[in-house]
Amino acid sequence: MDEQLSSHILTACGELAADGMVNILVLGGTGPTGIALIQESLLRGNFVVIFARSPEKLPNDIVFHASVKIVKGSLASEEDISKAFEVDGGIQVVLSALGPPVTGIHQRGAPIARGYEKVIEVAKRWNVRRFIILGTASIRDPNDKFDVRFKLLILGIGTFAPYAYEDIVEIGHVFERVGEELDWTIARVPVLSSEANKEYKAGYIGSVGTVLSRAAFANFVLDEVEHGAWIRKRPLVSQGGKSWFSHI
């Protein structure tokens, strides 16, 4: 392995060298959270491969960016997914903003979780270990404490969007099952906003707030790409102690 390529690969301590661009594969990049993730990746000088079912939803400044490659395909097809890994120097990190739609009816059968299983299998064939994906408080962590605000949020999703809840929970199980085969981080988010504030606090339920801007989510994820502080962990990322109740 040449020195330039090895400088882009996660070291044993979980840090990614910052002496050049990182080849990043982004899933779920056509929604507002995914676009924020792409923009932050490009801002930090990385090369971004976008795997999307509907790339026509992407804004022109991303479509025509010199450091962007777009691959159209479906998470149901391992052949499509494999094309997204075909890039000079190889993919070093998979970032994902995939999640059930906030509105509308989500399919039963956990389709996003099943898609992740296919992506993981393809990534293993390409020797890609690092995943940083979006999750929610519905994915539990042993370090979480009781917080009535999150209890209400989770109860609401489970009651009014049961298939979305099922999919999110199963995503957590998918990455738990792969264990140490991958260096994964599930960045759990509360209520997302469109504010420009990039400040964030990462912790666990009981010590964080219930609001996070998409820009702050992207900032956390790219910090995690560079520093690897939360490998095989499920932090809840928020903006301090802010509560969604104050935004109503």
Three-state secondary structure of 25-90: EEECCCCHHHHHHHHHHHHCCCEEEEEECCHHHCCHHHHCCCCEEEEECCCCCHHHHHHHCCCCCC
Residue 38 within a domain: yes
One-letter identity of residue 204 = Y
Residue 15 within a domain: no
For residue 107, what pLDDT is reported? 83
Residue 175 within a domain: yes
Residue 7 within a domain: no
DSSP string for the chain: --HHHHTTS--TTS----SS--EEEEESTTSHHHHHHHHHHHHTT-EEEEEES-GGGS-HHHHT-TTEEEEE--TT-HHHHHHHT--TT---EEEE-----SSSPPPSS-HHHHHHHHHHHHHHHTT--EEEEEEETTS--TT----HHHHHHHHHHHHH-HHHHHHHHHHHHHHHHHGGGSEEEEEEE-EEE-------EEE-TTSS-SEEEHHHHHHHHHHHHHH-TTTTB-PEEESTT--GGGG-
pLDDT per residue as tens digits for the range 165-186: 999 999 999 999 988 899 999 9
Tokens of 5: 């390529």
- Quick one: what percent of the chain has pLDDT higher than 90? 80
Tokens of 165: 């809840």
Question: Where in the sequence is the domain holding 150, given as residue range(s)?
Answer: 21-243
For residue 243, what pLDDT is reported? 56
The number of folded domains in the chain is 1
Residue 81 within a domain: yes
Q: Closest Cα to residue 95, out of 140, 36, 138?
A: 36
pLDDT per residue as tens digits for the range 61-118: 999 999 999 999 999 999 999 999 999 999 999 999 999 876 667 888 899 999 999 9
For residue 2, what pLDDT is reported? 34
Checking if the pLDDT of 154 tops 60, the result is yes
For the domain that residue 127 is a member of, what is the CATH number? 3.40.50.720
For residue 179, what pLDDT is reported? 82
Model confidence at 20, in pLDDT bands (50, 70, 90)? Answer: low
Residue 216 within a domain: yes
For residue 104, what pLDDT is reported? 66
pLDDT per residue as tens digits for the range 121-138: 999 999 999 999 999 999
Query: To which residue do tokens 């999150």 refer?
Result: 150
Residue 101 within a domain: yes
pLDDT per residue as tens digits for the range 193-217: 999 999 999 999 999 999 999 999 9
Q: For the chain, what is the mean pLDDT?
A: 89
Model confidence at 8, in pLDDT bands (50, 70, 90)? Answer: very low
For residue 37, what pLDDT is reported? 98
Checking if the pLDDT of 230 tops 90, the result is yes
pTM for this prediction: 0.88
Residue 1 within a domain: no
* Widest Cα–Cα separation across the chain: 54
**Alpha carbon 136 to its chain's center:** 11
Average pLDDT for 139-156: 94
